[in-house]
Amino acid sequence: MATGIKDKVAILGMGCSRFGERWDAGTPQLLAEAFEEALADAGIERARIEAAWYGSGVEAVNVGNSCIPAAMALRLDGIPVTRVENMCATGTEALRGACYAVASGAVDIALAIGAEKLKDTGYGGLPTMFKGTFNDLWMPLGSAPAGFAQLAAGYRAKHGTSRDDLKRAIGHVSWKSHQNGMLSPKAHLQKAVTMEQILEAPMIAEPLGLFDCCGVSDGAAAAIVTTPEIARALGRRDMVTVKALQLSASSGVESGTNTWDGSHVRTTRAAAGRAYREAGITNPREQLDLIEVHDCFSITELVTMEDLGISADGQAVKDVLDGFYDRDGQGVPCQVDGGLKCFGHPIGASGLRMAYEVYTQLLGRAGQRQVKAPSIGLTHNLGGVPYLGVAAISVLGLHA
């Protein structure tokens, strides 16, 4: 019977490039920036890495659809390297591949790395990633802001939330991220924004204003993973292990039937439920110390709090406005590095960037944005749109 991978994989080292408009670097340079930090953190030679998983979302504007550019950039000579893509969950998918390889005993040390170079494309948002059936049949005239604005409409309809209350809550989500982003030296945006600026910003897709939407950027992030036994043999005392890694993909039931009410994201709930069982979490509101979620839009973050079971259904608005998710609040700090809102969203890197922040916090290395004595954290990616997509969850924690 399957037992999952809880505590079978330790993170030996992690790295993250500076995110932003990186006119100074191409994708190979971004990969190297993240990889070199991870390698130094791991304290091993490059030759110890036995396999690698490389995540990139948009091959047409990045480095192509094979593993070769990553292998060349990082001088991964002769080892198996696999390129993966799973919409906006691509970074976590790369981590899943590396962790599963170690947990299975196939390799001792593996690399997960993801990167995206989006600012050179001349395109204002994410380029069209999903050719064929997905775009042509399911969302031929759709856009990301419109798709997630529908989530707000569904949420209001189900819970009877007033427009003003929801607008103030999602405004607080964006305000919080900008406050945190000021303390993140690798973030794309490091400037505070007032609530007045957020609430009075131009409308993009009702109720999402300009500051309710994350941008795109260039960036890379990496993780080197191994077994706890090998990490200990290499002298690692404070150790972060993977408690759970779960992924859920939509079958299309949300769009093709009337069983979904539009107020939540089914794939997030499915992945979170499995991740909690794997990690042994029975009360996420009390047991999680920090979270990094896929705040592509502020409404997404708010709804995700309920999908993760941290806020009760219909109560996320109150929790957000009460400061439950603020860095210095009395609840579960969310987006303590500024999230997608301040880092932007280089697709292949985002999931690993979230893991990098949780890892950094767990080891007490986060400087001014450090939360108090965390022992377990969660990351969440959401690819596609609420009514058709994929969700990925990782739970990371200090190893006893």
Catalytic residues: 88, 345
Pairing state of beta strands 51-55 and 110-117? parallel
Closest CA to 344 of 260, 220, 227, 232: 220
DSSP 292: E
Q: Determine the Cα angle at 46 with ends 57 and 378, to 5°.
A: 50
Helix ranges (DSSP H) in the chain: 27-42, 68-74, 90-104, 133, 144-159, 163-181, 195-199, 228-233, 253-256, 266-279, 284-287, 298-307, 316-321, 339-343, 347-362
201 close to 209: Cβ distance less than 8 angstroms: yes
Distance in Å from the first CA to the final CA of the chain:
25
Closest CA to 22 of 178, 188, 184: 188
Rounded Cα distance, 215 and 322, in Å = 27
User: Under 8 Å CB-to-CB from 261, ≥6 apart: which residues?
Assistant: 154, 157, 158
128 close to 59: Cβ distance less than 8 angstroms: no
269: region left, alpha or beta (phi > 0 left; psi from -120 to 50 alpha): alpha
Neighbours of 282 (CB within 10 A): 9
Q: Is the dihedral of CA 351, 357, 358, 359 positive or negative?
A: positive
